Amino acid sequence: MMKIEIEVAHKIGDIVFLITDPEQMERMVLGYTLRKTNVFYELVQGVNNSVHYEDEIASEKDILKLTTN
């Protein structure tokens, strides 16, 4: 049996925001997908699920993005 430990910036259940989302809608971390060189985050917003790289995700809402759109 192989034991794998990964470090993630966002834990399952955390509320996060996509940095490219002009509406800055809350999303919850649902799980992870492991690939050879990357960890992908599975996010849920309402009934919509999506998969993202860590670099696409922020812990806090970008208020400036909201005011400029």
- pTM for the predicted model, two decimal places: 0.85
Q: pLDDT per position in the chain (69 positions), as tens?
A: 888 888 899 999 999 999 999 999 999 999 999 998 899 999 999 999 999 999 999 999 988 877 655
Residue 69 tokens read as 């759109």
Order the strands of the 15-18 sheet from edge to edge: 48-52, 39-45, 27-34, 15-18, 57-58
| Calpha distance 44→67 (Å, rounded) | 24
Residue 57, pLDDT score: 97
* Tens digit of each residue's pLDDT (9 = 90 or more) over 46-61: 999 999 999 999 999 9
User: Which residue has tokens 């997908």?
Assistant: 33
